[in-house]
Amino acid sequence: MKDSTTGKPLIHGETLDSLTARLAERGEKGFRAKQILEWLYKKRAAGPDEMTNLSKPLRAWLAETFEFQPTARLLTKNSSDVTGKFLLKLGDERLIETVIIRAPQEGVGQDRSRKTVCISTQVGCAYGCKFCASGLAGWKRDLQAGEIVHQLIQVCHQEDPTTPRASEELASFDNIVVMGMGEPLANYDNLLRALSILNAEWGLNFGARRITISTSGLAPQVERLADEPMGFRLAISLHGATNEVRQQIMPVNRKYPLEQLLPAAKAFSQKHGRMITLEFILIEDINDSLDQARELAKIANDLHAHVNLIPYNTVEGLPWVRPSIPRQDAFAAILRERGVSATIRREKGHDINAACGQLRLQTEKAQGIIEPEPVKGRA
């Protein structure tokens, strides 16, 4: 729970209970914790100096005890006005990515686009999927809860640096997807702590039903997640409809093969009474055969799951190729003929999202050139 450079715990990783307990040790009244969290999430204070209804000694103690700026914005990159991707520097100089996706909603007009934030949960990833930039450089470390939460504070700042209420700014987003760098369920406790802060009324007050966790298929953790009281949505990165095809590109399939993963996914969807999503990257001659489509249709029908087809996004240094559009359509047609609800991600802006991890990889090569930009408080 500590910042790796200052050694201090991160204030954005504290819950109402944990902060109340810390303050009680100092003999502070119970309502102080709520006041502090209100400053952080409702008034977007950048540090204790702005918390003007707290005594000076309490503000000094907060500054001494906690880290308030666990991430700094390094670089913002936009793709065709649809996607904004930014690179954040952590206390130990490591880099992560956070993405904002603005997808126009069909039939609603340009002014009401669907806004989604994509957040990271680890630096790098240990699972080594053969098509993924995040897995290329291996796993470096887990993110702390406060580093996960602070990505959303950065997003609110990016969207509108002047709106005082971070929770209101975040409310303008339709969804949060945990699909950035890392395997979220391999950092289970920090993830759940962060999501409970995002979800809490005293925190960012963002509904659990609008939060989707994407996993490469850690079956035991999927079962554990099914028992959590907060009803998050689940997406499974399937990418292969048989063990044979799946384990060629996803080493995790050897540990948790389909006969273990699919029942866990089914248990999740039955407990929550809600459709899960199967993500399926289409890679030419690897998993895009019509046989794979037929097998995928069986799985999706059995799980009553939605299928999201993602044409492979090129990663520098990897040999894979995206199938042609007619081939993608033929694959989708097989699913639809069999009654499966399936979409193909074609929007330009999604390219940059689908290959989370790439911006970090490129920037690490050129590091040292860009200076960090701290998050400022209100003007």
For residues 104 and 128, which CB has a smaller minimum distance to ligand SF4 in the complex? 128
- Residue 313 interacts, among ligand SAH, ligand SF4, none and using kind-specific CB cut-offs from 5 to 8 Å, with ligand SAH
Residue 51 CB neighbours (<10 A): 19
Three-state secondary structure of the chain: CECCCCCCEEHHHCCHHHHHHHHHHCCCCCHHHHHHHHHHHHCCCCCHHHCCCCCHHHHHHHHHHCECCCEEEEEEEEECCCEEEEEEEECCCCEEEEEEEEEECCCCCCCCEEEEEECCCEEECCCCCCCCHHHHCCEEEECCHHHHHHHHHHHHHHHCCCCCCHHHHHHCCCEEEECCCCCHHHHHHHHHHHHHHHHCCCCCCCCHHHEEEEECCCHHHHHHHHCCCCCCEEEEECCCCCHHHHHHHCCHHHHCCHHHHHHHHHHHHHHHCCCCEEEEEECCCCCCCHHHHHHHHHHHHHHCCEEEEEECCCCCCCCCCCCCHHHHHHHHHHHHHCCCCEEECCCHHHHHHHCCCHHHHHHHHCCCCCCCECCCCCC
Shortest Cβ 69–ligand SF4 spacing (Å): 26
- 279 near ligand SF4 (CB under 6 A): no
Q: Which residues of the shown chain bind ligand SAH in the complex (CB under 6 A)?
A: 131-132, 179, 183, 214-216, 237, 279, 281, 310, 312-313, 315, 354-356
Instruction: Please give the Cα distance from 160 to 157 (Å, whole number).
Output: 5
Q: Which stretch binds ligand SF4 (CB under 6 A): 30-38, 89-97, 120-128, 302-310?
A: 120-128
Is residue 183 a contact point for ligand SF4 (CB under 6 A)?
yes
Residue number, 20 or 215, with CB nearest to ligand SF4 = 215
Nearer to ligand SAH, 100 or 354 (CB): 354
Q: What is d(CA 269, CA 141) in angstroms, rounded to the nearest whole number?
A: 30
- By CB under 6 A, tell whether 237 contacts ligand SF4: yes
Residue placing its CB nearer to ligand SF4 in the complex, 54 or 118: 118
In terms of CB distance, is 332 or 355 closer to ligand SF4?
355
CB-nearest residue to ligand SF4: 135
Which residues, 6 or more positions from 31, have their beta carbon under 8 angstroms from its beta carbon?
A: none
Calculated CA dihedral for residues 135, 136, 140, 142, nearest 10 degrees? -20
Least distance CB 252 / ligand SAH (angstroms): 9
Nearer to ligand SF4, 32 or 246 (CB): 246
Report, in Å, the least distance between residue 166 CB and ligand SF4. Answer: 27
CB of 239 to ligand SF4, least distance (A): 8
278, 318 Cβ separation under 8 angstroms: no
| Chosen residue from 13, 70, 84, 135 binding ligand SF4 by CB under 6 A | 135
Binding flag, residue 134, ligand SF4 (CB under 6 A): yes
Catalytic residue, candidates 67, 97, 169, 183? 97
Query: Choosing among ligand SAH, ligand SF4, none, which partner's interface includes residue 187 (Cβ < 5 to 8 Å by kind)?
Result: none
**219: contact with ligand SF4 by CB under 6 A:** no
356 catalytic? Reply is yes
* Minimum separation from the CB atom of position 314 to ligand SAH (A): 7
d(CA 77, CA 85): 5
Stretch that binds ligand SF4, among 35-43, 110-118, 126-134, 346-354 (CB under 6 A): 126-134
Least distance CB 122 / ligand SF4 (angstroms): 8
User: Is there a catalytic annotation at residue 97?
Assistant: yes
- Return the one option of ligand SAH, ligand SF4, none that residue 135 interacts with (CB less than 5 to 8 A, by type): ligand SF4
Among ligand SAH, ligand SF4, none, the one that 315 touches (CB under a kind-dependent 5 to 8 A) is: ligand SAH
- Does 277 help bind ligand SF4 (rule: CB under 6 A)? no
Minimum CB separation of residue 127 from ligand SF4 in Å reads 4
| Contact call for residue 129 and ligand SF4 (CB under 6 A) | yes
Q: Following CA atoms 202, 73, 98, 250 in sequence, which dihedral angle do they give, to the nearest 10 degrees?
A: -130
> What's the distance, CA 200 to chain centroid?
18
Q: Give residues in contact with ligand SF4 (CB under 6 A).
A: 125, 127-129, 132, 134-135, 182-183, 216, 237
Which of the residues are catalytic? Answer: 97, 356
